[in-house]
């Protein structure tokens, strides 16, 4: 066992003495058992994590019952919703790197034999995945689970995005303060990750398709007794993985990532998943370029429209997906389509992905459509390329209305999210405009802030909701819908074309062809580039100053070099 390094031999008497002092060594026989790290992300300020202290105890008890010695440690976390729209959002994406570093540090320093990761919200899941890829020991993920959707007196469902979009309606005079308060009070009724197909739930669902989590990981509600049962089964399974020495990278291969992205585009996951999967592939030493996402999307149909997308007059939430059969039902339906999945991929269940799907059926074909009647033949995420995004830009095409699939309009350029938001609030954006928000990428932001406040504001104004486009080198929340294209690379801060276009330049977006171009000649673009100067860093000291110097652009996963 790896842990023998710190517990075997007379030379390790001091180490054993310290281990006894932790209280986790109950008797001498514990020194002969596997040491299992419980990587928890409990933190009070995040509703998706506020219940994880108790949840962690369930996992610890189950590990001990299965014959291991559990040692729990915690990571930090940032709540994107609470950090949204102010300086705090600059720290959200960078927190992913700190979490990965924490996982690597604790596991490597203490020679653990296996690990159970308990993430839930946006950057915590990919941060733990990246750290697990680095240390490459037997690992299983079990998330804290999604919250229930809010329900008003008339039976209408709501979620966090409903509240953000209501702020736009309030700013436009379409909603009263009393109506907004009432919505605010019911939209997030329980602990758990936000109830739509936003980044947290997207990543937790993807863990199932990656093969690194048990069925139900992404969809069982946080408040359900099923969630504790899942935790106990995951904790017991880690002992089997240690015994078999089935390590993280044995499971997370290029085929597994293809499967994860197949699920992603089949259920319209967050655009942020692309960023995180690129980072995971890099940490796993896998060559996985942005263009490969389109290859997956070409062979995978869009089967489920989950909030923020609308399925006709209604909106589905994660709990509806679970009731319809969850991730296994979606994957089983994809398995019927030749080439959609790599069914031979290994999983932490000890069987292949294909074997795990035997006998699984959809329980509600309105929520999860059969492959024979998809929302579209092509998946719900796309990477766009062109002279405005030579290294790509990402859009959740599954949350775009049909009349928005082609768009052409003049650029309205803003060098920060705040200036763009002010223009929207003050009525300075016209129907037909392409709102360009730049210098918000990983380096330029820094931190590649999400722009849910801005996109929700636009969506809340009827005159602009479906008549404008928004492109940025920053990010969008998983709750963003409509013609919003993020991750544009190269970013403005490194001299990318998005930093060189000017007000009035005509931008053309063709989602069918997956192109995004600006009507500026190569010669003119070269002239503008020669006159361009890099902006001064916004931070001179502290974590974000270091992050600015080290971070790569979105096409490289915004990892540090």
Tell me the pLDDT band of 474, cut-offs 50, 70 and 90.
Answer: very high
Tell me, yes or no, whether 366 lies in a domain: no
**Domain check: are 177 and 214 in the same one?**
no
**Domain check: are 171 and 89 in the same one?**
no
How many independent structural domains does the chain possess? 4
SS3 content of the chain, % helix, strand, coil (to 5): 45, 15, 40
Tell me, yes or no, whether 522 lies in a domain: yes
Structural domain of 454:
382-556
| Cβ neighbours of 5 (radius 10 Å) | 12
| Cβ neighbours of 491 (radius 10 Å) | 30
pLDDT in tens, 304-339: 999 988 898 889 999 999 999 999 999 999 999 999
- Does 462 score more than 90 pLDDT? no
CA 295/CA 316 separation, integer angstroms: 27
**Domain check: are 389 and 256 in the same one?**
no
pLDDT in tens, 265-300: 999 998 999 999 999 999 999 999 999 999 999 999
- Does 164 score more than 90 pLDDT? no
In the set 92, 477, 489, 555, the catalytic residue is: 477
Mean pLDDT computed over 455-467: 87
Tell me, yes or no, whether 367 lies in a domain: no
**Domain check: are 215 and 314 in the same one?**
yes
**Domain check: are 180 and 198 in the same one?**
no
Tell me the pLDDT band of 398, cut-offs 50, 70 and 90.
Answer: confident
Strand partners, 151: 157
Tell me, yes or no, whether 561 lies in a domain: no
**Backbone phi, then psi, for 71, in 5-degree steps?**
-130, 115
Most confident of 84-93, 124-133, 449-458: 124-133
Tell me the pLDDT band of 401, cut-offs 50, 70 and 90.
Answer: confident
Q: What is the pLDDT, as a whole number, of residue 85? A: 80
- 546: its two tokens: 């270091």
Tell me, yes or no, whether 406 lies in a domain: yes
Q: What is the pLDDT, as a whole number, of residue 241? A: 98
Q: What is the pLDDT, as a whole number, of residue 65? A: 98
**Domain check: are 391 and 436 in the same one?**
yes
**Domain check: are 53 and 128 in the same one?**
yes
- Does 479 score more than 80 pLDDT? no
Mean pLDDT computed over 504-526: 97
Mean pLDDT value across the chain: 95
Tell me the pLDDT band of 257, cut-offs 50, 70 and 90.
Answer: very high
**Domain check: are 349 and 397 in the same one?**
no
**Domain check: are 419 and 472 in the same one?**
yes
Tell me the pLDDT band of 403, cut-offs 50, 70 and 90.
Answer: confident
- 433: its two tokens: 């405009």
Q: What is the pLDDT, as a whole number, of residue 452? A: 78
- Does 483 score more than 80 pLDDT? yes
**Domain check: are 414 and 543 in the same one?**
yes
Is the Cβ–Cβ distance between 309 and 267 less than 8 Å?
Answer: no
Q: What is the pLDDT, as a whole number, of residue 388? A: 97
Q: Give the CATH number for residue 410.
A: 3.50.30.80
CA 444/CA 498 separation, integer angstroms: 12
Q: What is the pLDDT, as a whole number, of residue 476? A: 86
**Domain check: are 348 and 470 in the same one?**
no
Q: What is the pLDDT, as a whole number, of residue 481? A: 80
**Domain check: are 164 and 207 in the same one?**
no
Tell me the pLDDT band of 62, cut-offs 50, 70 and 90.
Answer: very high
CA 404/CA 514 separation, integer angstroms: 13
Tell me, yes or no, whether 374 lies in a domain: no
Q: What is the pLDDT, as a whole number, of residue 276? A: 97
pLDDT in tens, 89-129: 999 999 999 999 999 999 999 999 999 999 999 999 999 99
Tell me, yes or no, whether 369 lies in a domain: no
Range with the lowest mean pLDDT among 164-178, 378-392, 488-502?
164-178
Q: What is the pLDDT, as a whole number, of residue 96? A: 98
CA 331/CA 303 separation, integer angstroms: 10
For residue 128, what is the DSSP state? H
Is the Cβ–Cβ distance between 411 and 507 less than 8 Å?
Answer: yes
Is position 477 annotated as part of the catalytic site?
yes
Tell me, yes or no, whether 362 lies in a domain: no
Q: What DSSP element (H or E) covers 515?
A: strand 515-518
Say if residue 308 is preceded by a cis peptide, omega within 30 of 0: yes
Mapped onto helix, strand or coil, the DSSP state of residue 475 is strand
Q: What is the pLDDT, as a whole number, of residue 309? A: 87
- Does 358 score more than 80 pLDDT? yes
- Does 451 score more than 90 pLDDT? no
**Three-class HEC string of 348-361:** CCCCEHHHHCCCCC
């Amino acid at each position: 066992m790896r842990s023998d390094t710190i517990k075997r031999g007379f030379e390790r008497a001091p180490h054993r003495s310290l281990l006894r002092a932790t209280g986790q060594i109950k008797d001498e026989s514990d020194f002969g058992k596997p040491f299992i790290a419980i990587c928890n992300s409990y933190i009070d300020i995040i509703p998706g994590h506020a219940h994880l202290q108790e949840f962690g105890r369930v996992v610890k008890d189950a590990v001990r019952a299965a014959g291991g010695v559990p040692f729990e440690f915690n990571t930090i976390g940032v709540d994107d919703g609470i950090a949204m729209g102010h300086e705090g959002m600059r720290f959200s994406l960078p927190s992913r790197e700190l979490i990965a570093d924490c996982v690597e540090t604790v596991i490597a320093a203490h020679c653990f034999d296996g690990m159970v990761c308990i993430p839930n919200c946006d950057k915590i899941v990919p941060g733990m995945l990246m750290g697990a890829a680095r240390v490459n020991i037997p690992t299983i993920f079990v998330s804290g689970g999604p919250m229930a959707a809010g329900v008003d007196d008339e039976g209408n469902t709501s979620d966090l995005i409903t509240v953000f979009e209501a702020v736009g309606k309030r700013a436009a005079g379409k909603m009263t303060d009393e109506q907004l308060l009432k919505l605010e009070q019911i939209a997030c009724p329980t602990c758990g990750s936000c109830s739509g197909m936003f980044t947290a739930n997207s990543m937790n669902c993807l863990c199932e398709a990656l093969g690194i989590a048990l069925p139900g990981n992404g969809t069982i509600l946080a408040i359900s007794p099923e969630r504790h049962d899942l935790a106990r089964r995951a904790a017991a399974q880690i002992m089997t993985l240690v015994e078999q020495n089935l390590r993280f990278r044995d499971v997370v291969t290029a085929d597994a990532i293809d499967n994860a992205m197949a699920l992603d585009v089949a259920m319209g996951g967050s655009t942020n998943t692309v960023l995180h999967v690129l980072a995971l592939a890099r940490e796993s030493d896998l060559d996985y370029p942005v263009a490969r996402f389109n290859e997956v999307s070409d062979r995978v149909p869009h089967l489920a429209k989950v909030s923020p997308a609308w399925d006709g007059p209604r909106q589905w939430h994660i709990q509806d997906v679970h009731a319809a059969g969850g991730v296994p039902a979606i994957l089983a339906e994809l398995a019927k389509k030749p080439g959609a999945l790599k069914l031979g991929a290994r999983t932490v269940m000890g069987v292949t992905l294909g074997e795990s799907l035997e006998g699984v059926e959809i329980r509600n074909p309105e929520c999860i459509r059969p492959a024979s009647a998809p929302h579209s033949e092509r998946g719900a995420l796309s990477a766009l390329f062109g002279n405005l995004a030579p290294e790509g830009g990402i859009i959740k095409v599954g949350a775009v209305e049909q009349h928005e699939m082609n768009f052409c309009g003049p650029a309205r350029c803003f060098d920060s999210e705040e200036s763009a938001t002010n223009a929207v609030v003050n009525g300075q954006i016209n129907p037909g405009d392409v709102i360009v928000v730049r210098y918000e990428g990983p380096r330029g932001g820094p931190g590649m802030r999400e722009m849910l406040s801005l996109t929700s504001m636009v969506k809340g104004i009827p005159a602009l909701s479906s008549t404008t486009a928004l492109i940025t080198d920053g990010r969008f929340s998983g709750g963003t819908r409509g013609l919003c294209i993020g991750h544009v690379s190269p970013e403005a801060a490194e001299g990318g074309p998005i930093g060189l276009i000017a007000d009035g330049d005509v931008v053309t977006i063709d989602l069918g062809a997956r192109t995004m171009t600006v009507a500026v000649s190569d010669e003119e673009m070269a002239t503008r580039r020669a006159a361009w100067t890099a902006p001064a860093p916004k931070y001179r000291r502290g974590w974000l100053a270091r992050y600015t110097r080290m971070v790569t652009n979105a096409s490289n996963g915004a990892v540090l070099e």
